Amino acid sequence: MRTEFSPAQLADPDTAESEKILRSCVHCGFCTATCPTYVLLGDELDSPRGRIYLIKNMLESGEAPTAETVKHIDRCLSCLACMTTCPSGVHYMHLVDHGRRWIEEHYRRPVGERALRRLLGLVLTRPPLFRLALRGAALLRPLTGCLPRRLRPLLALAPRRLPAASAADRPSVVPAEGARRMRVALLPGCAQRVLMPEINAATIRLLARHGCEIVIAKDSGCCGALAHHLGQEERALALARANIEAWERERLAGGLDAIVVNASGCGTTVKDWGFMLREDRAYAEKAARIAALARDVSEVIAAIGLVPAPNPGAGRRVAYHSACSLQHGQRLHSEPKALLAAAGFVPLDIAEGHLCCGSAGTYNLLQPELATALRDRKLGHIAKSGAELVAAGNVGCIAQLAAASPLPVVHTVELLDWATGGPPPRALAAAAERAAPG
């Protein structure tokens, strides 16, 4: 694709990077077929190729984008299916990230939307505040109909009962069971530890059982991925730097073989920190080092090898939902399924497995109609798979699907933990309780 940036524009490292990406696109359109928004809406401007043109025009103009341009870029899920499909290796993720930052810096959104985006960036990345907000949401639920339309999806996704905070998320060092094979840091995260603290608890048990010493480093927490996807770069980078400092201290004190991430949306961002902080002289080197240590939990367990154990759930048919951030963002698709099979479960593929479930960070809160259409399409395919339960490696997908799924939806690590000696996943136990007579 031809570009017409001025030398002054290209002096900006972000624009220079985006220009390289734009020039690699040959506008063949292969990516359109696997883009969820194009599949739903059939509009070229809601396809990767259409958005690439919009971002090009927006950046070249050097001006504030039009509301129309913002609408189509906002509708992008950042699911990255287009990157998996593209034969020319176009790095759409870095391009759309730049586009979102540009919009955030140059476009004035309507006041309600601006407030909602600020609220999400503020609350979701701070677990105590998020917990408080969810408690408030539970109280407001009966008044849903009276609230502004934009706030209603927030209430719809808020859980009816909030689990207690887990002690497992406090700074600590959990020893390996038996001989120590690895020393790893676990990203404690933000929204996940409020909504589903059982995921970190299961991850810690699973890793310890597999010979890992696990560090929850003091001052590690939210990775900033949610803020990053909202285009709130300052906040995203501040959170990245705080984690990098925390893990560098641990690395220097006791060594670290890996940074384990069990929310694949976060993992994709942590693995990209080297790029995101490349222009920061104080952090570029540290960020690249930490990013190189980042692993999805399935990568770590696959590398160690699953310990054989009598699995109480052996033979259960599990629809494996391959989170976009795992399959497209990190190119990890077969590993979690192979682990489930090795544990004795029967993993089942879901039709249109490349399509997003509509969660996509804050997407289901900001674009509820499209997100719901994608969720219902996914649940329709799951229903046809013959599964008894659903597994995914990202809390956003789990919350999105569980909100309307008749089947329990759990994290892959909860199943692996159960299969190797841990308790049954909370959602599975709750479903069994509901089904019990009396």
Residues that bind ligand SF4 (CB under 6 A): 25-31, 35-37, 48-49, 51, 76-82, 85-86, 88, 90, 92
Measure Cα distances from 31 to 50, 220, 225 in Å. Answer: 10, 37, 24
Closest distance to ligand SF4 from the beta carbon of 79 (Å): 4
The answer to whether residues 90 and 221 touch, using CB atoms and an 8 Å cutoff, is no
Question: What angle (nearest 5°) sits at the alpha carbon of residue 405, between those of residues 401 and 411?
Answer: 50
Closest distance to ligand SF4 from the beta carbon of 391 (Å): 22
Q: How far apart are CA 154 and CA 156, in angstroms?
A: 5
Closest distance to ligand SF4 from the beta carbon of 51 (Å): 5
Closest distance to ligand SF4 from the beta carbon of 25 (Å): 3
Q: How far apart are CA 397 and CA 386, in angstroms?
A: 20
Nearest CB to ligand SF4, comparing residues 329 and 425: 329
Q: How far apart are CA 223 and CA 156, in angstroms?
A: 25
Nearest CB to ligand SF4, comparing residues 73 and 259: 73
Closest distance to ligand SF4 from the beta carbon of 299 (Å): 23
Conformation bin of residue 265: beta by default, left when phi > 0, alpha when psi is -120 to 50: alpha
Give φ, ψ of 216 to 5 degrees.
-100, 100
Closest distance to ligand SF4 from the beta carbon of 276 (Å): 18
Any idea which residue has 């031809």 for tokens? 2
Nearest CB to ligand SF4, comparing residues 45 and 120: 45
Nearest CB to ligand SF4, comparing residues 203 and 362: 362
Nearest CB to ligand SF4, comparing residues 69 and 203: 69
Give SS3 for 174: strand
Surface-to-core class of residue 255, CB atoms within 10 Å of its CB (0-12 exposed, 13-18 middle, 19+ buried): exposed
H or E element: which one contains 260? strand 258-261
Nearest CB to ligand SF4, comparing residues 2 and 108: 2
The answer to whether residues 392 and 398 touch, using CB atoms and an 8 Å cutoff, is yes
Nearest CB to ligand SF4, comparing residues 32 and 405: 32
Closest distance to ligand SF4 from the beta carbon of 319 (Å): 22
Q: How far apart are CA 396 and CA 135, in angstroms?
A: 19
